[in-house]
Each structure stands twice: as C-alpha cells, then as structure tokens.
Copies of this chain bind each other. A is one copy, B any other.
C-alpha cells in the first residue's frame, strides 16, 4: 500500500477501482481452537480483516494475494473467493464506526480526497484460506499496531460488516465439509484423531461422537496411521496420523459428497 497517511505516506486513490475492496479471512488451528488472522489499526484502535483495494489494472485474485502479503506478511497462501458483500449500507459511516470519531481521528492523518473516496458505499469480495498457524509469522503493516491470531469464539467487534464476513466464511467452510475433506494445509504434518475431531468440531460448531467420527474419517482412506514410538508408556500415547497425499488428491477430485 502506498504513501500518504501519517505525514509521509501517500495513498493515491486514482490508482484503485472505486467502491470495491477485497477482504481475507485466514483460518488457522492451534490444536485446540480455530483462529482467524486480524489486524488492529493504530488510529482508532479498530480491529479489521486484512484487506484493501484493487488496482485498476490488477486481477482481483492478485489484489487479494498482494493485500494479504502487504498487510500481514503472509505469502503464497491459497486464497479462494467465497462471496461478495453488496449491501447499500456497506459504508464506514453507517456501519459501526461513528462519523465523528472517524473524522476526528483521520482527517489529521489522511487527505480530504481519500476521506471522500473511502466514505462512499463499498462492495467487498471475500477470500478465505486455511493455513498452518505454526508455519505462519504474521506481522502488522504500517497502519496497524497488531496482527494476531484470534480464536473464532472471541472475535471482537470489527469495522464495517467484517463480523458478518467471518460468519459467511464459516458458513462456506461448513458447506465445503459436505463434499470435501478438511484442507490439508491447516494441520501439522502429524496429528491425532482427537485433534482432527476438535478441528471439525470448531468449524461445525458442535460436538461430534468420537467413534462414529473416527470410523467415517478412516474410511475415507486418506490418513496413514504411524507406528507408535516406544516411550515406556506407549499404550497411553494416542496414534498419530498423517495425510496420504496421493489418496488425498484423488478424493479431492472425486469429492466425498452425494454421488450419482
């Protein structure tokens, strides 16, 4: 993102498509909780999804990639578009940021032209991804004081309708589990069935029955059970699993939903 904001950062709105933005919902799992990557703005203290604006000559998919990188440092994330939010009320002024506060805190920071530009109604296109928290090293951009993984169950009030965008992303994730297994990217290389179940429970937002879940999962044929390491208390250690990548690719193509 360019340069004005502050005193020496200039953001040229003419470089971007007006009234359209993209927002990224990045999911991670820390073995206990499903989390989402959020930024906290320096000015105003607002929490937000990483996102921003599309350059006039830039593919929207590329804009999402670029913005995720610029705003959180995350690179090479497999982003998938899931929905565009087009309500006429999508506007800083009508959503949960008060006009007064926005003007007070921002007019000193950015140009009047920018304020006018950003205070219009915006359509935003949502992208989501699941990534391995352990392999990510998010860092805030110059606008933000923090870039953090926040548990889905503890998401604060966000700017605009970003809370609704997260709800929709979760809804899409749940629908996806009706015809695809979980993303291979979100789990560590080795995991237990208990961890896998916890991840599904977090997404589906309900408790699952252990033996039924394991039977269904193992029947998919995409998991390899690893030999137990001898630890002296081996019997108590749970089995570890990893994905069989070849079988996983096959089943992704075929799908696990209703077949005809």
Contacts and interface: CB of A to CB of B under 8 A. Distances in A.
A121 B56 CA distance: 8
Contacts of A256: 257-258
A233 interface: no
Contacts of A61: 86
A43 interface: no
A260 B208 CA distance: 7
Interface residues of A, number: 36
Nearest to A17: B19
A18 interface: yes
Interface string A43-85: 0000000000010111111010000000000000000010110
Interface of A: 17-20, 54, 56-61, 63, 81, 83-84, 86-88, 121, 123, 125, 175, 177-179, 200, 204, 208, 213, 216, 255-260
Given A178-B257, A256-B257, 19 more contacts: A17-B19, A17-B121, A19-B20, A54-B123, A56-B121, A57-B88, A57-B121, A58-B88, A60-B87, A60-B123, A63-B86, A81-B84, A123-B125, A175-B179, A178-B258, A200-B260, A208-B260, A216-B260, A257-B257
